[in-house]
A = this chain, B = another copy of it.
Amino acid sequence: MKKIKMGMIGGGFGAFIGDAHRRASRICNDFELVGGVFDADFEKSLEFAKNEGIAPARCYESVGKLIEGELALPAGERIEVVSIVTPNALHFPFAKSILNAGFHVVCEKPMTMTVEEAEELEKIVGETKLTFALTHTYTGYPMIRQMKDLIAKGTLGTIQRIDAQYYQGWINSIIHGTDSRIKGVWRLDPKHAGASSCMGDIGVHAFNLIEYTTGLEVDEILSDLSPVKEGIQLDLDGTVLLHFGKNLKGVIRASQVCGGEENNLTIAVYGSKASLKWSQENPNYLTMLSDSETTRIFKPAHGYNDQFAEMSHTMPSGHPEGIYEALANIYKGTARSIRGEKFIPGEFPTVHDGVRGMKFIHSVVSSNKMGNVWIKL
C-alpha cells in the first residue's frame, strides 16, 4: 500500500519524543518521513535530515516555508500529514497554521497552552474535516482498548468509583541537586512549562485514560497541589477529587517526586457487577475483579478479546509488545482516517480529547489557587 508522506516539526538530534514518533510510524509502516523542520537551528536540522536520508530540499527553515514549499509540489509528492513534536508552547501556533494549510496533523500533548487555543483548534478541525491525532500514547495499548470495550458493553454494571494514579520520581534528581541545575530545567519554569508541571505533564494522561476507557466526562474537580520544596513555582505533586454526576466520585493522584517510581500510571474502574484494573508498566495484563467470581486476567492475542484489542497486537500471545507498539497503533488509526478508511472511534485521541485535557489542567490549577474549591470542567 502506498505510504502516507509525513513531515515532522521538531524531533531533531537528541529529541527523545521525536524519535519515538518516527519509530512508531515505521512500525505501523503506513508512513514515510519525507521532510520537516527538525531543529530551530537550520544547520542542525539539515544535518539531521541528511542522517535520516531525507532530501535536503525538503528540510525547511521554518514551518511557514515548509507549508509554502510543500504546497508548491504536485499533490502526489506533497506531505500529507505533519507530526508536531516541538516544545509545548509551539504546538498551538504550528498546528493552527498547518491545519489551515490543509495538512493533517499528529500532535504531541499538551495540545496547547490554554483552553481557548484548544477550542480554536477544535473549531478548525471541525471546519476543515482534517484528521487531527493527539498522542495520548497509552490509549494505544491493546488492554486499554479491551477495557474501553468491556465498559462500553456494560460488563461492570453501574460504575461506582474511579481511581487513577500517575507516579514518577525523576524530578527528585533535579530539585535535590544544586541551584544552578534547577535554573536550567525548563519544566520548573512557568514560562516554558505552562501553568502546571505535574498535572500538565502526567496528571492529564490519567484524566484522559479515565474519560477514554469509561466514556464518561468529569463534571467538576477539586485539587490539592504541592510544590514539595521551597522556591519551586509549579506543582510537582497533587491529588484531584473528581465528581462525575450524582453519586459517582473518583480521584486522580499524580506526582513527580515519588522517588523510585518510574512511569507508574494505573487506572481502576469499579462497578456494581465487576471491576477492571490496569497498570502501564505491565500493560499486557488487564485484571477483572468480581465479588462472586474468580479474578480474571485478560491478555492480548486471545479470542476472548474484542476486535479492537485484537487488531492492536500483532504478535502471538505471550510475546510482549510495548509502548512503541502502542504509539504505532495510534499512527495506524491515524493512517486509516487520513486514507478515508473505516476506523474504530478511539483508534486515536482527537482534538476534543485535547480540549478536555486543557480544561482539566487549568481547572486543577485554579482550584488549588482558590483554596481547594470545586470547579466545573
Determine which of B1, B222, B322 lies in contact with A224 in the assembled complex, contact meaning CB atoms within 8 Å.
B222
A283: chain B residues at CB < 8 Å are: 320
Residue A237 at the chain B interface, CB threshold 8 Å = yes
Contact A2 B53 (CB under 8 A): yes
Complex: A292 Cα to B172 Cα, angstroms: 11
Q: How far is the CA of A274 from the CA of B173 in the complex (A)?
A: 12
* Least distance between A330 CB and chain B CB atoms (Å): 15
Count, chain A residues at interface, CB 8 A: 92
On whether the beta carbons of B249 and A290 are closer than 8 Å, the reply is no
- Tell me if A's interface is mostly helix, strand, loop or mixed: loop
A215 to B194 alpha-carbon distance, docked (Å): 37
**CA of A16 to CA of B314, assembled, Å:** 9
Q: How many monomers of this protein are in the complex?
A: 4
A263 part of interface (Cβ distance < 8 Å): yes
Tell me the chain A residues, 94-112 only, with Cβ under 8 Å from chain B.
none
Q: A230: which B residues are within 8 A, CB to CB?
A: 247
Query: By the criterion CB–CB under 8 Å, are A249 and B259 in contact?
Result: no
Q: Is the CB of B315 within 8 A of A20?
A: yes
Within 8 Å CB of A3, what residues of B? 53
Which of B156, B226, B263 sits near A247, CB closer than 8 Å?
B226
By a beta-carbon cutoff of 8 Å, the part of chain A in contact with chain B is 1-3, 16, 19-20, 22-23, 26-27, 29, 51, 53, 156-157, 160-161, 163, 165, 167-170, 172-173, 176, 222, 224, 226-230, 237-239, 241, 247-249, 251, 253, 255, 257-264, 268, 270-275, 280-283, 288-299, 301-304, 314-325, 372, 374
